[in-house]
Structure 1
Amino acid sequence: MSSIKRSMGTFSLMMTGLGSIIGSGWLFGAWRAAGIAGPAAIFSWIIGMIVILFIALTYAELGSMFPESGGMVRYAQYTHGSFVGFIAAWANWIAIVSVIPTEAIASIQYMHSWPFAWTKSLMNGNDLTLFGIVLVIVLLLIYFFLNYWTVQLFSRANNIITVFKIVIPLLTIVGIMTAGFHPGNFHLPSQGFTPNGWSGVFTAVAISGIVFSFNGFQSPINMAGEARNPKRSIPIAIIGSLLIAVIIYVLLQITFIGAVNPSLAAKGWGTIQFSSPFANLAIALGINWLAIVLYLDAFVSPSGTGTTYTATTARMIYGMEENGYFPKIFGKIHPFYGVPRPAMFFNLVVSLIFLFLFRGWGALAEIISVATIISYICGPISVMALRRIGVHLRRPLRIKGISIIAPLGFIFATFILYWARWPLTGEVMFIMIIGLPLYFYYQVKNKWAGFRKDLKASGWLIVYLIVMALFSYIGSEKFGGINVIKYGWDFVFLVVLSIIFYYWGVKSAWENQYLKEAEDVNQKAYGTEQERKIV
């Protein structure tokens, strides 16, 4: 079997992260967040970035320890065995692979507001028409072939696209702010700064596309196997891309709030309906050149992210095959081009399925956000578990204060899961269950090797998911519950529950067979302890 080539530098890796983060989220996120939280959506972006940064720091340490392709789907298995590993990998893969059709849908949704008769037939309300679906399929094929031959072609294309994706949002901010900005929109008499209270601010973090947008921090980790110097590149790529992105997103949110016609905002931020939010504002302000640029960027920004995720999801399938969850064919690497082509074909098929099931950007963004959070909860657990059972492993990046960062990251992730509101939380929990037959099939095939210990190590996660679904149902009405637990008290209970499950999860880790595989990856990258002493 050929190995994946290490050909990506620090800049390319950071551009991969930033290219994943700045996708369709900036085209729609500010509008959706404002509809839920009003002007206070500014805080939603900041809260979202802080939460993701805490979680990302735990994965940064893990990614530097195990610089391998598809790493995000492996860490939980290293610490807790195959059952936890499968649930975490399944949730992560569902969240990431569904981004590919989401980005393509975003491009066509923006295209719907072009001033041509034929573009009006692309959408029927919030759903794509058959014609719109055909165009989305064309975009998916473009993403596919940009990654088909070599990761270097992907890197070069993504670097150029990402630079473009940074410039256009900045042009939008400057252009719209100078053409028409209404400071009074931030404190309208009928709305105020927080028209839906702080619960609206929190809900916007979970379902408006904020978690969905910042989710791109994973891409440098999943591409770590291609990095020339992973211990330096991974933390710079993750932290750098998140910090740059939050500055851009907050400025975009301020721009959107200030640019809306006050008469529209006075009717309620949730009543504002835009098919192409920033382009619609540019046209309303008479900035026609900017509208044209935005229509062009509606292809470039989402396509850059779609291209990036086409690459990273293939590496995830490659990683899941090595974990024993997928057929061997998905672990095959092309001997010349060094890319996992069978995994790419599989993800293309899954993307098409998602396209036909969910034909609007908003519906997919919500599902992606919740599935993402479920996959995130294992990062803080695994990094601290390895501090206990993997003390001998080489840690090129040893995060200071991880004993505080990790539990806070777990608590924050739990809160976002709750903020997503019932019944969405329950629906995504059901999607997690769909993947279990695949896991049990491979358990039967492997004669249930080590299943009893794996099941015991997964108790915390199984109970956690059940409790969170139940808590979401009986929680505050502000988050879709039946209000058995009142607003305010629900936060107190969540903190207590999070702490209990966090320490249960860390204590459940055990030195399973997969930890040995992790040691091999670590030693291959950095040498054994004895070899390091010689050096």
Structure 2
Amino acid sequence: MRHTLNAIARLLLCAAGFVMSIYGSVQLNALKSPSFGDLLGESSFWVAAVGGLMTALAFEAMRRAQVPAPATQPAAPTAPEETEETAPEETAVPPVASVPTEPERDERPAEDGDKLSLVEVVGLAAGGVVGSGWLLAVPGLHESLGGAAFLGWAAGGVLMLTIAVVMVEFGLISQRTGGLLFHPHDAFGPLVVIILAASLWISYAINPAAQAAAAVDRLAEIVPSLAGEGGLTRIGSVLAVAVTTAIIAFVLLPRRLVLRTNAALTLVKIAIPVVLVACLAFAAPAPLSDSGPAPGPTSTGVLSALITSGVIYAYIGFQAPLDVTGEIRGGRRDVARRVRWAVYGTVVGSFLLYSALQLVYAEHMAASGAEHGTSYALLTDEATLLGAPLDWLVLLVRIAAIIAPIGSGIVFTYALSREVYTLSAERYVPSGLHEQRASRLPGRTTDSFWLILLVNLVLALVVLVAVGGDWQTLAVLNTIPILILYAVTCVVLAVRSELLGTGLQQLLPVAAYAAFIVIALVVNESAWDRVWKGVAVIGWGSLVLLVLPWLHHLRVPGLGWYDAKNHGARLFSRDPANRPFVVLALYLVALTLLSAVRHRIDDDSVWSVWSLRALVVIVASGAFMLLVGAGRRYLRQTRLTTTPR
């Protein structure tokens, strides 16, 4: 336990130093041409300097704490390592096969000796879904749709269930950790995976920051100084940074402890909303003080409310078991049964829970005349059950408002560490991120995740500071990239449809096409300022993953450690992976432009709105067919095996 606490302390020290450096640099940037003497007299200069020193010391402490793991057996002879100059010509056989059968392809990290039980798999699926969504999306949806808010949850539930069926049934054909990224690799090649890796990494890394911001926002009901009308205050932002750091640091604890703690948190954060629904359904609402008539909805668009109100955000996370399929206990049938129970049960259960919460919330909002955005705790505080106040329930709701987001952040952090580990093993990112080192942390003989978690922490804190802790912006940056990942997964199923079995599985390509089209419509109906931000972070992330290996190939000083494969060189050759990459990139640009057009159309112009929706369907259908064709062409040219394990 001492070593665990030391590791967490080092991570916290590094995060604190990093935040101090950013804060001091931002404050100094406001000065106009300061002299050296002026800098020495500025407290911000010393904050940045001390923060940089703390970060350097923490890095050095973490480096000293990790020593190379002793070799247990001589390495097997391997072929000479390929040079990056020849990468474009080596696409005849992709580096990742559809079904890895070689004994050296152990995709589980070395410390994962025990596999996941059904309870732990359900904890990952339900724990990832039930976070801050029910706290903030229910009031947001009520504000947008009023009495029609139930339709929002129904539409989102049908879409998410369709996507879940496509992802689960195809993912179970080849059960492997990292399948969300490497099934697209098998179908399209490495360039499309670059886009999807950026989408998944950004979405998953932002999630802990979004959950921390939501937890602090709910805590502000007790401590008003944490948030104001414009969002989190400076104190609230600092606390959100601390909570984000704690969420990511928690995953450093022994794996079994993390999974069991998450399962327990999941049980609690499901039980409290269920109790809340049961009590509010029979409780008598009371008018809030100084409240007028109940406000009406601000919008009538169900599709537009799915993202802007946080409905999709409240559903995402069910795919966590698919991130770690290779770690689940049992044979193929047992793994399939556990994943289906976890994912399908989570999507259906969350729809029932969210719908029930929406109904009781709407009833109490109408009776109390409360303003838009009123929280559950305030509504519950004014209600009575059989003439008795519900003070105890208010306390439970406030507890759930804090632990539910934190629990969801833990799930995304755990899943992302596994995805990045697999990306590093295939050299999409530096190989040092998966290098096994001897560990003194209890429950682990080797460890490589501390560096992955540190990178994720830096990314999460940068985004959190950049948006000022605004939950809605964080939720959108979390939602748009993951929807793109869902959409491409639907295309992958259509490309590899020959792997499907008989019977109902033959209908999956139809479901995949329908989900792809609906995702396009949902994105198009969302607010323009949120769509372009979501697509922009995907673009920037993809550019970074493409450019850094190229700079390493050019031997740019300081990038000797970034030994990822230079997949960007493929763009300058007749590589079969180019076509699906170009089609996907152009589709994302077209989707963004169509969203800009939707932003300029008045909702009252019914003909214009529906004409644009028809155009979106045509563009999405064309992109779907082009991607399927490009994927099958890639398979023919690379002669990839299609025999499932």
Same-fold call, TM cutoff 0.5: yes
Higher mean alpha-carbon deviation, 469-478 vs 431-440, is at 469-478
Q: 2:323 aligns with which of 222, 230, 241?
A: 222
Q: Is the 8 A contact 2:122 2:342 kept in 1?
A: yes
Which digits, 9 at most, give the CA deviation of each residue in 1:458-508, with x for residues without a partner?
22212211111111112265689x979712222222222222111111111
Q: 1:425 aligns with which of 523, 527, 531?
A: 531
The share of aligned pairs that are identical, in percent, is 20
Q: 1:103 to 1:356 in 2, by over 3 A?
A: same
> How does the TM-score come out when normalised to structure 1?
0.85
State the aligned residue count. 499
Q: 1:395 to 1:356 in 2, by over 3 A?
A: farther
Deviation of 1:147 after TM superposition, in Å, equals 1.6
The answer to whether residue 477 in structure 2 is matched with residue 372 in structure 1 is: no
The answer to whether residue 231 in structure 2 is matched with residue 231 in structure 1 is: no
Q: 1:127 to 1:191 in 2, by over 3 A?
A: closer
Which digits, 9 at most, give the CA deviation of each residue in 1:37-56, with x for residues without a partner?
11211110111111112112
Which digits, 9 at most, give the CA deviation of each residue in 1:332-377, with x for residues without a partner?
3566266633211211111211221221222211222222212221
Q: 2:200 aligns with which of 51, 68, 92?
A: 92
Any unmatched runs of 5+ in structure 2? 1-68, 70-105, 287-291, 384-388, 439-444, 554-564
Corresponding residue number in structure 2 for 1:272: 372
Q: Is the 8 A contact 2:294 2:369 kept in 1?
A: no
Corresponding residue number in structure 1 for 2:548: 441
Corresponding residue number in structure 2 for 1:532: none
Q: Is the 8 A contact 1:110 1:298 kept in 2?
A: yes
Which amino acid is the alignment partner of residue 502 of structure 1?
A: F
In 2, the alpha carbon distance for the partners of 1:453 and 1:326 equals 22
Which amino acid is the alignment partner of residue 188 of structure 2?
A: H
Deviation of 1:177 after TM superposition, in Å, equals 2.0
Corresponding residue number in structure 1 for 2:595: 472
> How does the TM-score come out when normalised to structure 2?
0.71
Corresponding residue number in structure 1 for 2:626: 504
Which digits, 9 at most, give the CA deviation of each residue in 1:236-289, with x for residues without a partner?
221111111111011011111111144636xxxxx6143xx1111111224221
Corresponding residue number in structure 1 for 2:243: 139
Which amino acid is the alignment partner of residue 608 of structure 2?
A: K
Q: 1:289 to 1:497 in 2, by over 3 A?
A: same
Which amino acid is the alignment partner of residue 471 of structure 1?
A: L
Which amino acid is the alignment partner of residue 221 of structure 1?
A: L
In 1, the alpha carbon distance for the partners of 2:138 and 2:294 equals 21
In 1, the alpha carbon distance for the partners of 2:621 and 2:353 equals 33
In 1, the alpha carbon distance for the partners of 2:179 and 2:636 equals 13
Q: Pairwise mapping of residues 480-499 of structure 1 onto structure 2 (< 5 A)?
A: 486-499=608-621
Deviation of 1:325 after TM superposition, in Å, equals 2.4
Any unmatched runs of 5+ in structure 1? 183-187, 266-270, 527-535
In 1, the alpha carbon distance for the partners of 2:639 and 2:260 equals 32
The structure, 1 or 2, with the larger RCO (C-alpha pairs under 8 Å, 6+ apart) is: 1
Q: 1:273 to 1:54 in 2, by over 3 A?
A: closer
Deviation of 1:76 after TM superposition, in Å, equals 1.9
Higher mean alpha-carbon deviation, 209-218 vs 353-362, is at 353-362
Q: 2:419 aligns with which of 316, 335, 343?
A: 316
Give the structure with the higher percent helix: 1
Corresponding residue number in structure 2 for 1:325: 428
Please provide the CA RMSD for this pair: 3.1
Deviation of 1:399 after TM superposition, in Å, equals 3.3
In 2, the alpha carbon distance for the partners of 1:250 and 1:83 equals 40
Q: 2:256 aligns with which of 152, 156, 167?
A: 152
Deviation of 1:411 after TM superposition, in Å, equals 0.7
Q: Is the 8 A contact 1:61 1:398 kept in 2?
A: no
Q: Is the 8 A contact 1:36 1:203 kept in 2?
A: no
Q: Is the 8 A contact 1:207 1:369 kept in 2?
A: no
Q: 1:343 to 1:279 in 2, by over 3 A?
A: same
Deviation of 1:397 after TM superposition, in Å, equals 12
In 2, the alpha carbon distance for the partners of 1:381 and 1:402 equals 11
Higher mean alpha-carbon deviation, 303-312 vs 256-265, is at 256-265
Q: Is the 8 A contact 2:494 2:509 kept in 1?
A: yes
Q: Is the 8 A contact 1:208 1:365 kept in 2?
A: no
In 1, the alpha carbon distance for the partners of 2:616 and 2:161 equals 20
